[in-house]
Homo-oligomer: A and B are copies of this chain.
Amino acid sequence: MTEATISTTARTELKRIPERAHFDRETVYSIIDEAMICHVGIVDAEGRPVVIPTFHGRDGDDLLLHGSAASRLLRTARNTEVCVTITLIDSLVMARSAFHHSANYRSVVIFGVPEQITDDDEAGAALDVLVEALIPGRSAEVRPNTRNEIRATAVLRLPINEASAKIRNGPPVDDEEDMDAAVWAGLLPVNTTFGPPVTADDMRVDLPPSPSAANYGRSQ
């Protein structure tokens, strides 16, 4: 059975503001699941960093990534160290001094070595998880992937073994000497909304937006 808390390592320990760190899977997974995209860091052949944005999904305790079998991300990232970072900005924190401006955010970092899924059936199932992660309900609205489509896509599986969440959530924190200043302070919420759906011009069948589009939302 998987432990509910992820063990801390030198890479995931927060040294500066440790109270912002979270290692329980529930918190880490809630951020992974709410986020639409992640940023994948790899080291190129010359030892230099490359950061690529991509969609992700979660299959239990594994993060799934995918892309064209021909893509740089997929060619480079399999069987080598990656860092996947996921970031949600909840609000801008406006303090009485510029110095104390900040953001309320929830982020996750996952370190590890992804493996490519080579079994067609397993890769096909993983692609369904990825579609569902991006657009819940969509995989039942479209036909199944063909074997050629599955083979044209590389799917990577990254166990969530070395990971942590980092969360700031609270009001501005100002220095006492600024508290009487006539400066407004507070939070400016940052919201992500979706829709309304825009139907493709080349539809040959007259259909309203499917439920997955019409009712789209991400857990918040």
Contact = CB atoms under 8 A, between A and B. Distances in A.
Contacts of A160: none
| Most chain B Cβ neighbours within 10 Å, of A82, A84, A199 | A199
Contacts of A180: 204-205
Nearest to A50: B83
Given A195-B189, A210-B184, A145 B99 contact: yes
A85 B186 contact: no
Contact of A172 (B101, B105, B135, B200): B200
Interface in A161-181: 171-172, 178-181
Interface residues of A, number: 97
Contacts of A70: 16
A113 to B, nearest CB: 10
Contacts of A207: 182-184
B181 A134 contact: no
A216 B189 CA distance: 10
Contacts of A55: 103
Given A52-B85, A210-B184, A142 B193 contact: no
A188 B197 contact: yes
Given A94-B138, A99-B145, A81 B49 contact: yes
Given A103-B55, A128-B98, A139-B98, A83 B188 contact: no
Interface in A89-116: 89, 91-92, 94-99, 101, 103, 105, 107, 109, 111
Question: Closest 9 CB pairs between A and B?
Answer: A41-B49, A41-B51, A39-B39, A51-B85, A53-B87, A184-B210, A41-B41, A99-B149, A187-B198
